[in-house]
A and B are shown apart, each in its own frame.
Chain A
Amino acid sequence: MDLTLKIWRQASAEGKGKFVNYQVQNISADASFLEMLDILNERLVVEGEDPVAFDHDCREGICGACSIYINGRPHGPDRGITTCQMHMRNFKDGETIVIEPWRAKPFPVIKDLMVDRSAFDAIIQAGGYVSVSTGGVPDANAIPIPKRKADEAMDAAACIGCGACVAACKNASAMLFVSAKVSQFALLPQGRLEARERVQKMVAKMDELGFGNCTNTYACEAECPKEISVSHIARMNREFLGAKLLSEK
């Protein structure tokens, strides 16, 4: 198929970006979206132009590196997958595809479609862990956990930290990302011990970094490649309220 790509080009973080149109021809419907960009880039290199920079790595939908906003949707038109897994059969021959980076104040553009998502690391560093050191832990089966709870924790833990929730949210809110981690640990006995401190620290860090507020539009859930439920946001709200009301000075 032949396509017109309208791609955001920005030389550096400081640079002023603009959209540039590119034509690509004879793209197989079985190629992935990133392979289509590879084809474009290889041509640009040969032609002596600067190839389009984008984040990507595992190309099997789990590392969370790829992050492209395609035709108004993070990770493109298909549901429940990342950009790298999205195949060109989702587009029509002759279509114009608008390709943009994630847009959010805490995710500044580094170059072209690459953005800096270290804000997510900062949120995890604020409390997204159980404070155990290596060694000296009890036997794994000493902590029985109801299967339903373990499964629900796993649902939350499936988050790949790609930032699609932030990109999709009209408020650039990171609530789904933060709540997925808070919820995972809130559901497990290992995480309960620090639950109150954790939720407050992580929410405070999220606010400090300049993410927007959640207005329950649920766009995050619709665009999450791992289809993480907004019920985790509710759980985080609950945890937060409980922590504020009950934690001691």
Chain B
Amino acid sequence: MVKLDAKIPQGPLAEKWTNYKAHQNLVNPANKRRLDIIVIGTGLAGASAAASFGELGFNVKAFGIHDSPRRAHSIAAQGGINAAKNYPNDGDSIYRLFYDTIKGGDYRSREANVYRLAEVSNNIIDQCVAQGVPFAREYGGLLDNRSFGGAQVSRTFYARGQTGQQLLLGAYSALSKEIAKGSVKMHTRSEILDFVLVDGRARGVITRDLISGKIERHSAHAVVLATGGYGNVFFLSTNAMASNGSAAWKAYKKGAFFGNPSFTQIHPTCIPVHGAYQSKLTLMSESLRNDGRIWVPKFKEDAEKIQKGQLKPTELGEDRRDYYLERRYPAFGNLVPRDVASRAAKERCDAGFGVGSTGLAVYLDFADAIKRLGKHVIEARYGNLFQMYEKIVDENPYETPMMIYPAVHYTMGGIWVDYELQTTIPGLFAAGEANFSDHGANRLGASALMQGLSDGYFVLPYTIQNYLADQIQVPRISTELPEFEQAEKEALSQIEKLLAVNGKETVDSFHRKLGLIMWDFVGMARNKEGLEKAIKDIQELRADFWKNVKVPGTNQMVNPELEKAIRVADYLELGELMARDALMRNESCGGHFREEYQTPEGEALRSDDVFNFVAAWEYKGENAEPAMHKEPLVFEFIEVKQRNYK
């Protein structure tokens, strides 16, 4: 049995990272030039890592599926980025950010990693300001902060409703600087088809040029996977259309363990589904919960009238409204963590109190805030979000409450990594949403940007050197090695197989079916029976896919259908692993809610004695069941408690 070694440094929590840096191996400048690093994905984590490697003097090859690194989906993060600066003097500290993150993740993440994340959070803000990121400021010229779900302090830095965009453009500018310098070679519109291992180490990738269809081989001394999350397995999610889990899945199939695949975040404030043709869901920033109050009708007959369009929400008096989050969680109110808010919305709608034509929506009401602060303040804070809502829904949220419903947003699960962000394949690192590391079973708002940039700017540039230090004798790896040839052949044969099916159904129709299975059985609330059914259904759907999918065109052209088919083929396997993981975990924690395991009040019920571990899944072959390895989570420095936001 494989023993998972998280390689957590010795010493007190607050000194671990310092100790690590003090004792790690480094590569001298002359040797850096001779070492190649491949970075896959150029979102926050990938772009910041690639730029930082380039600055250090490594020879970097970066790959992205978009026409430009600036399009990566990090760009869509709205609300902000957390840091323990304590500028507002409201009691924040590195420890508190660490503690909130562990608690928010429902005690399913690694102490040492999370502490390091909180520790470098401050450097991120400094770095981004130096890059010219226009964070919001106060009249005195200093940085402004706002509060976010799951925290009692204001520690979120933001740039209007476009924080992700501004941070990504900051990383993109750093990357552009390195591209101009020649230290980074950027390959846009390139998809990873497979990884190449030589003597058990990650030594390269096989890529497909999305314009010409050309299959290429690229080699390096180390490979970084920073391809984001796999939320699109649900078909409808807040992820971008091209966001996918294929590179991570290929890494898994080459021997990287997959950590906690079932941990999915369902975001509470998204625009509800409006039709069968819908291609994606739109997130409304969680920051809206700072000023908006969430409610549904108190009485079912009102809810029914509203669903039929016979009653308007504004006509309903205060006594006929149920502000259920404020009622259930008086201490945190509308600012409870995302998983709690999402589940509470689902509970109300399932009980028949939902609004909108489908009954699958709740209100997010700004009437009080507008009365208290004035319309201009609300407009200044959320103007762009309100405008976006109005464009999509065709209703004016200044006058009538917004309608929201939870949607798949983020995957806490991902490729298993140790403290150095190295996967179980030596030389393959995973960063950002692609790894499983820091958010446990639930991610707090404004922490994804923090983690992506922490990994890319401040963790990998150190830890990758510790790995590369003993690689300085290794000459540039030839792409003529049989391992490259073999990987390329396999990748090509997969594509040919897909094109050869020539069935009757489109890729999207399979993806939609998979999404429904996932949403119904591996979504916000899961149970044994449903998960077993999901595994069976996914297997059947997968078999059907390989018999009936229709992928038009050829490999030697711009072929978006082929790209989608490659990804959906992977989702059809990944979805099953997610269901297996959820079925294995007989407890409720964070975003993973098993209906069998809940408190009498309907809160998640953890089982710390049995499930206080990371499930790391190992691929065992095409038709074999994957093997699960446990990395026990040891909490040395904090007391594990039942989460309480009351």
Contacts of A139 in B (CB 8 A): 126
Contacts of A85 in B (CB 8 A): 388, 391-392
Besides the known contacts A48-B552, A64-B71, A135-B127, 6 further A-B residue pairs in the complex with CB atoms under 8 A apart? A55-B67, A63-B70, A85-B388, A135-B458, A157-B169, A161-B68
State in angstroms the CA–CA spacing of A111 and B75 once bound together.
25
User: Which B residues are within 8 Å of any A CB, using their own CB?
Assistant: 48, 51-52, 55, 66-73, 75-76, 85, 87, 123, 125-143, 159-160, 162, 164-166, 169, 172-174, 176-177, 179-180, 186, 188, 211, 238, 240-242, 274-275, 277-280, 282-283, 387-388, 391-392, 394, 457-458, 461, 504, 506, 508-509, 550, 552-553, 557-558, 560-561
Question: A106-161: which residues lie under 8 A (CB-CB) from chain B?
Answer: 110-111, 114, 116-118, 120-121, 124-126, 128-135, 137-141, 143-147, 150-151, 153-154, 157-158, 160-161
Are A32 and B279 neighbours in the complex by a CB distance under 8 Å?
yes
Contacts of B172 in A (CB 8 A): 124
Are A59 and B137 neighbours in the complex by a CB distance under 8 Å?
no
A200 interface residue (CB < 8 Å to B): no
Are B458 and A134 neighbours in the complex by a CB distance under 8 Å?
yes
Are B174 and A129 neighbours in the complex by a CB distance under 8 Å?
yes
Are B67 and A59 neighbours in the complex by a CB distance under 8 Å?
no
Contacts of A121 in B (CB 8 A): 68-70, 176, 179, 186, 188
User: Which A residues are within 8 Å of any B CB, using their own CB?
Assistant: 11-12, 28, 30-32, 34-35, 38-39, 42, 45-46, 48-51, 53, 55-65, 78, 80-81, 85-87, 89, 110-111, 114, 116-118, 120-121, 124-126, 128-135, 137-141, 143-147, 150-151, 153-154, 157-158, 160-161, 184-185, 188, 190-191
Are B141 and A145 neighbours in the complex by a CB distance under 8 Å?
yes
With A34-B279, A58-B240 known as contacts, the answer to whether A154 contacts B160 (CB < 8 A) is: yes
Are B142 and A190 neighbours in the complex by a CB distance under 8 Å?
no
Contacts of B558 in A (CB 8 A): 12, 53, 110-111, 114
Q: List 12 A-B contacts (CB under 8 A).
A: A28-B275, A34-B279, A46-B504, A60-B280, A64-B71, A117-B67, A124-B173, A128-B173, A131-B177, A141-B142, A160-B75, A190-B131
State in angstroms the CA–CA spacing of A124 and B177 once bound together.
8
State in angstroms the CA–CA spacing of A134 and B169 once bound together.
15
User: Which of B68, B138, B140, B166 has the most chain A CB within a 10 Å cutoff?
Assistant: B68
Q: Which of chain B's residues has its CB closest to A154's CB?
A: B134
Contacts of A53 in B (CB 8 A): 558, 560
Are A116 and B159 neighbours in the complex by a CB distance under 8 Å?
no
Contact among B76, B125, B188 for A58, CB-based, below 8 A: B76
Name the distance in Å between A246's Cβ and chain B's nearest Cβ.
22
Contact among B48, B132, B506 for A191, CB-based, below 8 A: B132
Are B506 and A46 neighbours in the complex by a CB distance under 8 Å?
yes
Q: Which of chain B's residues has its CB closest to A146's CB?
A: B141
State in angstroms the CA–CA spacing of A12 and B130 once bound together.
42
Contacts of B75 in A (CB 8 A): 58, 62-63, 160
Q: Which of chain A's residues has its CB closest to B212's CB?
A: A12
Contact among B66, B87, B125, B129 for A65, CB-based, below 8 A: B66
State in angstroms the CA–CA spacing of A144 and B508 once bound together.
50
With A58-B75, A146-B141 known as contacts, the answer to whether A134 contacts B278 (CB < 8 A) is: no
Name the distance in Å between B217's Cβ and chain A's nearest Cβ.
23
Contacts of A87 in B (CB 8 A): 391-392, 394
Contacts of B277 in A (CB 8 A): 28, 31, 35, 38-39
Are B388 and A61 neighbours in the complex by a CB distance under 8 Å?
yes
Are A78 and B391 neighbours in the complex by a CB distance under 8 Å?
yes
Contact among A11, A51, A62 for B552, CB-based, below 8 A: A51
Name the distance in Å between B92's Cβ and chain A's nearest Cβ.
14
Are B129 and A143 neighbours in the complex by a CB distance under 8 Å?
yes
Contacts of A30 in B (CB 8 A): 274-275, 394
State in angstroms the CA–CA spacing of A89 and B274 once bound together.
14
State in angstroms the CA–CA spacing of A186 and B481 once bound together.
50
State in angstroms the CA–CA spacing of A188 and B170 once bound together.
14
With A144-B142, A147-B141, A190-B129 known as contacts, the answer to whether A42 contacts B162 (CB < 8 A) is: no
State in angstroms the CA–CA spacing of A144 and B279 once bound together.
43
With A38-B279, A57-B242, A60-B283 known as contacts, the answer to whether A132 contacts B130 (CB < 8 A) is: yes
State in angstroms the CA–CA spacing of A111 and B173 once bound together.
28
Name the distance in Å between B97's Cβ and chain A's nearest Cβ.
16
Contacts of A78 in B (CB 8 A): 391
Q: Which of chain B's residues has its CB closest to A141's CB?
A: B142
State in angstroms the CA–CA spacing of A11 and B275 once bound together.
32
Contacts of B458 in A (CB 8 A): 134-135
State in angstroms the CA–CA spacing of A65 and B506 once bound together.
24
Are A63 and B136 neighbours in the complex by a CB distance under 8 Å?
no
Are A80 and B134 neighbours in the complex by a CB distance under 8 Å?
no
Contacts of A132 in B (CB 8 A): 127, 130-131, 174
Contacts of B180 in A (CB 8 A): 125-126
With A147-B139, A161-B70 known as contacts, the answer to whether A42 contacts B388 (CB < 8 A) is: no
Contacts of A137 in B (CB 8 A): 126-127, 129-130
With A57-B66, A60-B283, A140-B129 known as contacts, the answer to whether A110 contacts B137 (CB < 8 A) is: no
Contacts of B165 in A (CB 8 A): 62, 158, 160
With A59-B280, A129-B174 known as contacts, the answer to whether A42 contacts B508 (CB < 8 A) is: yes
Q: Which of chain A's residues has its CB closest to B65's CB?
A: A57
Q: Which of chain B's residues has its CB closest to A78's CB?
A: B391
Contacts of A81 in B (CB 8 A): 391
State in angstroms the CA–CA spacing of A129 and B172 once bound together.
9
State in angstroms the CA–CA spacing of A11 and B164 once bound together.
35
With A58-B240, A150-B134 known as contacts, the answer to whether A134 contacts B461 (CB < 8 A) is: yes
Name the distance in Å between A131's Cβ and chain B's nearest Cβ.
6
Q: Which of chain A's residues has its CB closest to B73's CB?
A: A58
Contacts of B142 in A (CB 8 A): 141, 144
Are B173 and A110 neighbours in the complex by a CB distance under 8 Å?
no
Name the distance in Å between A143's Cβ and chain B's nearest Cβ.
6
Are A51 and B67 neighbours in the complex by a CB distance under 8 Å?
no
Contacts of B557 in A (CB 8 A): 11-12, 111
State in angstroms the CA–CA spacing of A158 and B388 once bound together.
15
Are A134 and B134 neighbours in the complex by a CB distance under 8 Å?
no
Contacts of B186 in A (CB 8 A): 121
Are A147 and B66 neighbours in the complex by a CB distance under 8 Å?
no
Are B68 and A130 neighbours in the complex by a CB distance under 8 Å?
no
Contacts of B55 in A (CB 8 A): 133-134
User: Which of A60, A111, A140 has the most chain B CB within a 10 Å cutoff?
Assistant: A140
Name the distance in Å between B29's Cβ and chain A's nearest Cβ.
14
Contacts of B69 in A (CB 8 A): 121
Are B552 and A140 neighbours in the complex by a CB distance under 8 Å?
no
Are A120 and B132 neighbours in the complex by a CB distance under 8 Å?
no
Q: Which of chain A's residues has its CB closest to B53's CB?
A: A134
Are B461 and A62 neighbours in the complex by a CB distance under 8 Å?
no
Are A130 and B159 neighbours in the complex by a CB distance under 8 Å?
no
Contacts of B140 in A (CB 8 A): 144
Are A80 and B506 neighbours in the complex by a CB distance under 8 Å?
no
Are B162 and A124 neighbours in the complex by a CB distance under 8 Å?
no
State in angstroms the CA–CA spacing of A32 and B550 once bound together.
25
